[in-house]
Structure formats: C-alpha cells, structure tokens
C-alpha cells in the first residue's frame, strides 16, 4: 500500500484543459501499471515530438542508447516538477553513466494543451548544472496530437491518466519508464524520490544486451547479477537468492575440501606402516 500511495499524483490545478467527465469518481487501482503486460513492449519509434526549443524529432532519434521516459504535464506545480527535479539531482550523483553519451532522458507532456513555450519553462525550472549542459535531456510535446495522441503514447507503456472534475487535477502514476536502445520497455521505477543506485541498476538492465556482449563491462555484469528488482517495493535489492546459492556452493566445496585433506593426511600416516 505504501508503494501504491507513492504512485498516485494529484498535480496542480489545470482547469479547462480537459472537459469534465460526467462521473469523476475514479477507482485509484485503475492507474496501476500491469508490468507483466508491458515489459518488453516496443514503442512506436516514429512518434513525432517538438522539444523545448521547437526542434522536431522522433523517438527513433533518441534510440541507440537507453532512454528514461518521464510522463508529466507542464502546468503542474506539484509532483511533476518534483519527479523531474529529483531525477536530475540523482542522475548528477551517478558518475559512471553520462547523459547524452550513455543514456538519454525524455520528459513528454500528456496534456494536449501544453506547447513548446510550456516545455521550455518547465525545462528551465528543472535542469541545472551538468545535466543541463549535457544536452542529453529533452522536454517535449507531441508534434501532431491528432495523429499521435497523448493517450496512445502513454497507454503503449501502460501509463494511464485521468482528469478529476472535482479536484481539477490529473490523476496518474509517478513512474520512470526505462527503454532499451531498441525502444522496448525494460523497467519501471516508481515514486518522486529516487536513489542513484536504483537508476544505475535500471540503466544497466535496460542496456543489458550491449553490456553482456562487451568484455570490458564485467563490472556492470557483476553489478547487474548481484541485485534484483523487488516488484512489491518498486526498488532494487541485493539478490539474496544468488548470495544464498553461492554460500551453499562455497559451503559444499569447503566440506569436500576438508574431507579430501583429512583423507590425504590419514592416507599419508598409513603409508609408512605398509612399507
């Protein structure tokens, strides 16, 4: 329940952006992402965007490296800025992976009334320091919402959002979606607060195909094997099953070694008597 509470975002009022539905009673569990359905799902690489500077690009332009996909809306002054700002701060504390070179970040609005100017204001309020200078993070709106609707893009990864008529806010999960270099969903991380280690492990998992084929990435292979994703908590944790297995193996090998040593010593003591 604690995890699910972290998923729900009631962002700042944005009256008039969507027509109020007749019934605003929303059952919160319907925004929960069914990970088993969407993990491995491929996004439409041809989806067209405009970034915070008005430059057109497609999702395919970002691929070739892992992508951290963040759904937000730029009129929010609550959890949407928080998750982006916290992500920027956490990424700056990861020394081994650099934005733009090792991965990319895309924050895309699901509010069909957001425009390039809104994206620019949101970007300036979010990015500072090295992350801003890297050029590896884009804030975007859909270039043609009629052809590529926000609902279509969001629901392709299981992300659902709803307008609350009573509260004049969007209800949606707070989640980072990690994409492989081929544009497939590799992992979800939930909540507005995030740890650099979780981000690093999710990036390793998203880029596992390249890492496993690279002899120079042995450290990443070991790191990825030593941690596992806890679905109930939405976080990575030490791979206790692996450690238990290795411990049992080491214990068994130790017993065999002790037995062999004892046998050899006993055999060595008997040999002179036989002569």
- What digits encode the pLDDT tens for the residues 87-96? 999 999 998 8
CA-CA distance, 234 to 110, in Å (whole number)? Answer: 23
3-state SS of 78-111 is: CHHHHHHHHHHHHHHCCCCCCECCCEEEEEEECC
CB count, 10 Å around CB of 264?
10
Write down the pLDDT at residue 212.
Answer: 47
The answer to whether residue 137 scores a pLDDT higher than 60 is yes
Residues ≥6 apart with Cβ < 8 Å to 199: 68, 87, 90, 91, 94, 176, 189
pLDDT level of residue 269 (50, 70, 90 thresholds): low
User: Is the predicted pLDDT of residue 233 greater than 80, yes or no?
Assistant: no
Residue environment code for 225-263, b if the CB has 16+ CB neighbours within 10 A, otherwise e: eebebeeeebbbeebeeeeeeeeeeeeeeeeeeeeeeee
Instruction: Specify which of 124-128, 148-152, 157-161, 236-240 reaches the highest per-range mean pLDDT.
Output: 157-161
Strands 175-179 and 185-190: antiparallel
Structure-model confidence comparison of residues 166 and 246, the more confident one: 166
The DSSP bridge pattern shows strands 162-164 and 235-238 to be unpaired
Query: What pLDDT was estimated at residue 134?
Result: 76
Q: Are 192 and 79 in contact (CB under 8 A)?
A: yes
Neighbours of 66 (CB within 10 A): 25
Q: What architecture does CATH give domain 2-238?
A: 3-Layer(aba) Sandwich (3.40)
For the chain, which residues make up each domain, given as ranges?
A: 2-238, 241-275
Asked whether the predicted pLDDT for residue 254 surpasses 70, the reply is no
Cβ–Cβ < 8 Å for 86, 192: yes
The percent of residues above 70 in pLDDT, for the chain, comes to: 64
What's the Cα-to-Cα distance from 268 to each of 34, 54, 255, 271, rounded to whole Å? 65, 83, 20, 5
Is the distance from CB of 208 to CB of 223 less than 8 angstroms?
Answer: no
């Amino acid at each position: 329940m604690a995890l699910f509470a972290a998923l729900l975002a009631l962002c700042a009022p944005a009256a008039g952006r969507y027509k109020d539905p007749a019934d605003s009673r929303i059952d919160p569990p319907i925004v929960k992402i069914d990970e088993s359905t969407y993990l491995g799902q491929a996004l439409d690489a041809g989806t067209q965007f405009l970034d915070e500077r008005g430059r057109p690009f497609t999702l395919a332009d970002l691929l070739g490296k892992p992508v951290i996909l963040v759904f937000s809306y730029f009129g929010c002054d609550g959890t949407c800025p928080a998750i982006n700002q916290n992500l920027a701060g956490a990424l700056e504390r990861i020394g081994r992976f650099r934005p733009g070179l090792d991965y990319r970040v895309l924050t895309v609005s699901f509010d069909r009334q957001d425009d390039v100017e809104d994206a620019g204001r949101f970007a300036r309020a979010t990015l500072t320091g090295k992350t801003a200078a890297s050029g590896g993070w884009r804030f975007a709106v859909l270039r043609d919402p009629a052809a590529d609707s926000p609902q279509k893009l969001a629901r392709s990864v299981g992300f659902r959002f709803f307008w609350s008529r009573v509260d004049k806010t969007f209800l949606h999960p707070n989640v980072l979606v990690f994409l492989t270099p081929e544009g497939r969903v590799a992992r979800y991380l939930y909540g507005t607060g995030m740890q650099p280690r979780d981000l690093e492990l999710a990036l390793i998992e998203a880029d596992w195909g390249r890492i496993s084929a690279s002899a120079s990435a042995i450290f990443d292979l070991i790191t990825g094997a030593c941690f596992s994703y806890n679905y109930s908590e939405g976080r990575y944790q030490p791979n206790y099953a692996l450690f238990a297995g290795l411990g049992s193996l080491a214990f068994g090998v130790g017993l065999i070694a002790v037995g062999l040593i004892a046998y050899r010593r006993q055999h060595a003591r008997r040999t002179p008597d036989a002569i």
